[in-house]
Amino acid sequence: MTPPTETTHTTLINPTDESVLRTVERTTLAQVDDAISHAMSAQRAWAALPPAERATAIRRFADAVGAANEELAQLEVANSGHPITQARWEAGHVRDVLNYYAAAPERMIGKQIPVAGGIDVTFLEPLGVVGIIVPWNFPMTIASWGFAPALAAGNAVVLKPAEWTPLTAIRLGELALESGLPEGLFQVLPGKGSVVGDRFVTNENVKKIVFTGSTDVGKQIMAGCSHQVKPVTLELGGKSANVIFADSDLEKAAATAPYSVFENAGQDCCARSRILVERSVFDRFLELLEPAVKGVVVGAPSDEATEMGPLVSKVHFDSVSSFMADDTRVAFRGSAPSGPGFWFAPTVLLPKSSNERVVTDEIFGPVVTVLPFEDEADAIRLANSSIYGLSGSIWTRDIGKALRVTRAVESGNLSVNSHSSVRYTTPFGGFKQSGLGRELGPDAATAFTETKNVFISTD
Ligand code: NDP
- pLDDT higher than 70, residue 6: no
Q: Which residues contact 449 (CB under 8 A, 6 or more apart)?
A: 108, 124, 125, 126, 127, 153, 154
Q: CA–CA separation, 240 vs 228, rounded Å? A: 33
Q: pLDDT digits over 152-205, tens only?
A: 999 999 999 999 999 999 999 999 999 999 999 999 999 999 999 999 999 999
Residues near ligand 1 (Cβ within 6 A)? 133-137, 142, 160, 162-163, 192-194, 197-198, 212-214, 217, 220-221, 235-238, 269, 362, 364, 390, 430, 434-435
Q: Report phi then psi at 329, rounded to 5.
A: -85, 105
Instruction: Enter the DSSP assignment of 21.
Output: E
Fill in the amino acid letter for 256: T
Instruction: Enter the DSSP assignment of 301.
Output: T
- pLDDT higher than 90, residue 3: no
CA 161 to mean position of chain CA atoms: 12
Q: CA–CA separation, 344 vs 332, rounded Å? A: 13
Q: CA–CA separation, 294 vs 237, rounded Å? A: 27
Q: pLDDT digits over 360-385, tens only?
A: 999 999 999 999 999 999 999 999 99
Give the strands of the sheet with 118-126, arranged side by side.
112-113, 118-126, 449-457
Check the CA dihedral 320-325-329-333 and report its sign: positive
Q: Where are the alpha helices (DSSP H) in 262-306?
A: 282-294
Q: In the predicted model, what is the mean pLDDT of the chain?
A: 97
Q: What pLDDT does 2 receive? A: 53
Q: What pLDDT does 108 receive? A: 97
Q: CA–CA separation, 411 vs 352, rounded Å? A: 25
Instruction: Enter the DSSP assignment of 367.
Output: E
Classify 57 in phi/psi space as left (phi over 0), alpha (psi -120 to 50) or beta.
alpha
- pLDDT higher than 50, residue 1: no
- pLDDT higher than 90, residue 254: yes
Among 277, 283, 234, 237, CA closest to 393: 277
Ligand 1, atom 42, residue with closest C-alpha = 269
Q: What pLDDT does 381 receive? A: 98
- In degrees, rounded to 5, the angle at the alpha carbon of residue 218 between the alpha carbons of residues 157 and 81 is 75
Q: What pLDDT does 326 receive? A: 85
Q: Is 270 tagged catalytic?
A: no
Residue range 242-267: mean pLDDT, rounded = 98
**Which residue among the candidates 76, 90, 163, 235 is catalytic per the annotation?**
235
Q: CA–CA separation, 250 vs 397, rounded Å? A: 10
CB count within 10 Å of CB 25 equals 12
- pLDDT higher than 80, residue 421: no
- pLDDT higher than 70, residue 109: yes
Strands 232-235 and 206-212: parallel
- In degrees, rounded to 5, the angle at the alpha carbon of residue 435 between the alpha carbons of residues 240 and 237 is 45
Terminus-to-terminus CA distance in the chain, angstroms? 71
**Which residue among the candidates 269, 356, 362, 439 is catalytic per the annotation?**
269
Strands in 20-179 per DSSP E: 20-25, 112-113, 118-126, 129-133, 156-160
The Å distance, Cα 24 to ligand 1 centre, comes to 19
- pLDDT higher than 60, residue 395: yes
**How does DSSP assign 122-160, residue by residue?**
EEEEE-SEEEEE--SSSHHHHHHHHHHHHHHTT-EEEEE
Output the CA–CA distances (angstroms, integers) from residue 14 to 18, 21, 110, 298, 367, in the order listed. 5, 6, 48, 16, 22
Contact 178, 207 (CB under 8 A): no
Q: pLDDT digits over 264-310, tens only?
A: 999 999 999 999 999 999 999 999 999 999 999 999 999 999 999 99
Q: What pLDDT does 458 receive? A: 96
Confidence of residue 420 (pLDDT cuts 50, 70, 90): confident
Check the CA dihedral 323-325-331-336 and report its sign: positive
The Å distance, Cα 135 to ligand 1 centre, comes to 4
Q: CA–CA separation, 110 vs 123, rounded Å? A: 5
Q: What pLDDT does 7 receive? A: 80
Residue range 136-142: mean pLDDT, rounded = 98
